[in-house]
Amino acid sequence: MLQGIRVLDFTSLLPGPYAGLRLSDLGAQVVKVEPPGGDPARYMGDALAGGGVVFLANNRNKGSVVLDMKTPTGREQALALARDADVVLEGFRPQVADRLGIGYVDIKKVNPGVIYCSLTGYGQTGPMSALAGHDLNYMAISGMLSQFTDDRGEPVMPKLQLADLLGGVVASEAILAALVNRQRTGKGCRLDVAMTDALMGLLNTHTLIHAATGYRWGVEELNGHLICYHLYETRDGRTVSLGALETKFWQTFCNEVGHPDWVSAQFTEAVADNPVFQAIKEPFL
């Protein structure tokens, strides 16, 4: 669907490359600009033919060029590439792209209709904009990390870089909207995408529920305390998810395992003194 759309990608590591990957998967031509020595992701994770797995996983179907942006020649070459780009994607900390001579103002001079997307942790303005950070920091500051806890309620380390990946999703979404707007109006734009903002946007339901009831964990029926929406251990030491909030699905489950007598217990607690909860474990073991 994006065949003919040209993207110039100055990003590295995970968030920006994942945004570029999503555009590439939709058919855009993505040219990745790497510094001398390459994207650091080339050396992250186990090495396979062609580079580290973090790089390979997020940069398929992209072209690549090495430019030293700290030299006049590198800047001139970057601006030459930007002249024909529909989209420029960068992930430097605020003001860095300007100092390198590839900021929005610089590129707009040679390409007035460009869609210029800056993807950072905290955005281009505000008291935290200049701070360095990583996925874990954005998870913590946004409040998202508080939703990942152990049995004691203590935060745990997520195994997925949710801020980085969601940042890439939101950036690609914004770019797609900007492409539609340019088709309608003929105008490019500057996009300021912050990973922390993206995470906070996922907490809209949690925030309203907390304001109305004081409950911190979102939709209470979905937090695993009901027997009909729970994780159950299996015989082989793994886990199976049971999601049967709708009565018709719960009835089907109960009938299939030969226990129509469980139907009335659908919304009871998954606690040790609940005999149906204890009995429901058996079909999985």
- What would the 3-class secondary structure string for the chain be? CCCCCEEEECCCCCHHHHHHHHHHHCCCEEEEEECCCCCHHHHCCCEECCEEHHHHHHCCCCEEEECCCCCHHHHHHHHHHHHCCCEEEECCCCCHHHHHCCCHHHHHHHCCCCEEEEEECCCCCCCCCCCCCCHHHHHHHHCHHHHCECCCCCECCCCCCHHHHHHHHHHHHHHHHHHHHHHHHCCCEEEEEEHHHHHHHCCHHHHHHHHHHCCCCCCHHHCCCECCEEEEECCCCCEEEEECCCHHHHHHHHHHCCCHHHHHHCCCECCCCCHHHHHHCHHHC
Rounded distance between C-alpha atoms, residue 80 and residue 88, angstroms: 12
* Residues designated as active site: 164
- Domain identity same for 42 and 182: yes
- Same domain? 48 vs 161: yes
The first and second tokens of residue 123, run together, are: 């955005």
Contacts of 67 (CB under 8 A, 6+ apart): 33, 34, 35, 74, 77, 78
Residue 161 lies in a domain: yes
Cα separation, 155 vs 241, whole angstroms = 22
Residue 215 forms part of a structural domain: no
- Cβ neighbour number for residue 126 with a 10 Å cutoff: 11
**Domain of residue 246, residue span:** 221-284
Do 272 and 237 share a structural domain? Answer: yes
- Indicate whether 92 belongs to any domain: yes
Number of domains making up the chain: 2
pLDDT of residue 156: 94
**CB within 8 Å of 26: residues ≥ 6 apart:** 1, 2
Q: Looking at the structure, do residues 189 and 225 belong to the same domain, yes or no?
A: no
Task: Give mean pLDDT in consecutive 10-residue pieces for the chain, a chain of 285 residues.
Answer: 98 98 98 96 81 92 96 97 98 97 98 98 96 96 95 91 98 98 98 98 97 96 96 96 97 96 98 97 91
Q: What is the pLDDT of residue 48?
A: 76
What is the Cα Rg of the chain in Å?
24
Query: Residue 97 and residue 71: Cα distance in Å, rounded?
Result: 13
**Residue 193 sits in the same domain as residue 225:** no
Last residue of a domain, one of 201, 230, 248: 201
Residue 225 and residue 132 share a domain: no
Q: With a threshold of 0.85, does the pTM exceed it?
A: yes
Query: Residues with Cβ < 8 Å from 231, sequence gap 6 or more?
Result: 224, 239, 240, 241, 242
Inside any domain, residue 226: yes
CATH of the domain at 162: 3.40.50.10540
Structural domain includes residue 76:
yes
Which pLDDT value is given to residue 45?
A: 81
Whether residue 126 is contained in a domain is answered as yes
Residues 134, 234, single domain; the answer is no
pLDDT score of 115: 98
Domain membership of residue 266 (yes or no) is yes
Does 160 reside within a domain?
A: yes
Measured CA distances, 126 to 121, 130, 163, 180 (Å): 12, 8, 19, 29
